């Protein structure tokens, strides 16, 4: 839900400071819990930065080793595999889930009766998507004898071992991710509402068809929201952990095909006693995500249109 509060579009233009004093105060009041929580994260935050430069096996005190962890990362084949899994997962599933979210949002926007009900139904999966229970359910749906394969057998197709065949396990997780498009969809719906109907009427009068109206009115006016959803989804997707952990029983298997970066980090830290290395991995991911987001913001100048 915090995602919704961060939506940039709804922020009013800055107004004269004095008039807003009281609002400021309640704003800070609302922020208080965040500051309190921050205290608990800021110390570990810097501690992990220190640990990234140490050899720390959890049992003995950390030992300073300079850049050795980072050098080891360059030659770590399993790390490269985990990066590959994470990037493929992100590159395929983020555009698909955003497209699905936008598509469904536009259909719902047409003014169907019972909209709140449909909206809730489509939103539900994204509340559940990364929960342990749903991934377990997913495992059964996609089991060798699961519902999906039984359905395919009806049409005479022998379904593969979706979750245990290294060629298909990641695909199954991508489908799961696309299915949880509800959260960007709700944001898209809010954005679509803000596009004045007058624009569409004017376009229709000029003889623009549905596709042209979508391309020349909807897309540009919605672009700040698309941008926001894109940035959010990319960050979340690069941090994927639960889906891989639960689906593979904590190993990243079959054959490392669901070994997400964060899952590998977890394995190094907590099962192989390499907390120094795991901390270094965490910081590399942090920097990668920060860079990617910065690039995103720079690129946004070229395609995001703010209609002030």
Q: Find out whether 140 and 227 touch, Cβ atoms under 8 Å.
A: no
Q: Which of residues 207-246 bind other proteins (CB under 8 A)?
A: 239, 241-242, 245
Dihedral over Cα of 28, 289, 254, 156: its sign: positive
Q: x-or-dash pattern for other proteins, window 160-179, by CB under 8 A?
A: -x-xxxxx------------
Q: Are 278 and 265 in contact (CB under 8 A)?
A: yes
By the rule CB under 8 A, 64 interacts with other proteins: no
- Decide whether 48 or 109 has the Cβ nearer to other proteins: 48
Give the nearest distance from C-beta 50 to other proteins in angstroms. Answer: 9
Q: Which of residues 142-161 bind other proteins (CB under 8 A)?
A: 143-144, 161
User: Of 200 and 286, which has the nearer Cβ to other proteins?
Assistant: 286
Shortest Cβ 124–other proteins spacing (Å): 20
Q: Which residue among 70, 118, 214, 286 contacts other proteins (CB under 8 A)?
A: 286
- Minimum Å gap between C-beta 292 and other proteins is 14
**Interaction between residue 59 and other proteins (CB under 8 A):** yes
Q: Specify whether the CB–CB gap between 64 and 53 falls below 8 A.
A: yes
Q: How many CA atoms lie within 13 A of 290 on its CB side?
A: 6
Beta bridge partners of 63: 55
53 near other proteins, rule: CB under 8 A: no
273 binds other proteins (CB under 8 A): yes
Residue 231 to residue 221: CA distance in whole angstroms? 17
Residue 8 per-residue DSSP state: G
Omega before 132 within 30 of 0, i.e. cis:
no
SS3 content of the chain, % helix, strand, coil (to 5): 70, 0, 25
Q: Which is nearer to other proteins, 121 or 144 (CB)?
A: 144
Query: Which stretch of DSSP H or E encloses residue 79?
Result: helix 77-109
DSSP code of 263?
H
Q: Is 48 in the site for other proteins (CB under 8 A)?
A: yes
Q: In angstroms, what is the minimal distance from the CB of 250 to other proteins?
A: 6
Q: How many CB atoms lie within 10 A of CB 284?
A: 18
CB of 243 to other proteins, least distance (A): 11
Chain residues binding other proteins by CB under 8 A are 40-41, 43-48, 51, 56-60, 132, 139, 143-144, 161, 163-167, 239, 241-242, 245, 249-251, 253-256, 262, 265-267, 269-273, 275, 278-279, 282-283, 285-286
């Amino acid at each position: 839900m915090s995602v919704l509060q961060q939506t940039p579009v709804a922020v009013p233009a800055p107004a004269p400071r004095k008039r807003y004093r009281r609002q400021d105060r309640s704003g800070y009041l609302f922020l208080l819990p965040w500051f309190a929580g921050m205290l608990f994260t800021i110390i570990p935050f810097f501690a992990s930065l220190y640990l990234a430069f140490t050899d720390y096996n959890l049992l003995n005190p950390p030992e300073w080793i300079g850049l050795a962890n980072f050098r080891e990362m360059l030659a770590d084949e399993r790390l490269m595999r985990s990066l590959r899994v994470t990037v493929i997962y992100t590159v395929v599933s983020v555009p698909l889930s955003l497209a699905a979210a936008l598509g469904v949002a536009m259909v719902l926007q047409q003014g169907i009766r019972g909209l709140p009900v449909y909206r809730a139904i489509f939103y539900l999966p994204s509340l559940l998507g990364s929960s342990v229970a749903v991934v377990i359910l997913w495992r059964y749906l996609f089991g060798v004898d699961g519902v999906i394969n039984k359905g395919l057998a009806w049409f005479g197709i022998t379904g593969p071992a979706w979750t245990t065949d290294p060629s298909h396990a990641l695909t199954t997780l991508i489908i799961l991710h696309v299915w949880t498009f509800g959260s960007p969809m709700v944001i898209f719906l809010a954005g679509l509402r803000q596009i004045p109907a007058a624009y569409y009427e004017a376009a229709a009068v000029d003889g623009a068809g549905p596709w042209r109206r979508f391309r020349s009115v909807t897309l540009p006016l919605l672009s700040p929201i698309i941008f926001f959803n894109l940035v959010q989804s990319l960050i979340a997707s690069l941090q994927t952990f639960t889906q891989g952990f639960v689906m593979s029983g904590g190993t990243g298997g079959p054959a490392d095909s669901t070994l997400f970066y964060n899952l590998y980090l977890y394995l190094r830290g907590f099962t192989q006693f390499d907390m120094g290395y795991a901390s270094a991995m965490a910081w590399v991911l942090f920097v990668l995500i920060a860079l990617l987001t910065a690039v995103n913001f720079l690129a946004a100048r070229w395609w995001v249109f703010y209609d002030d």
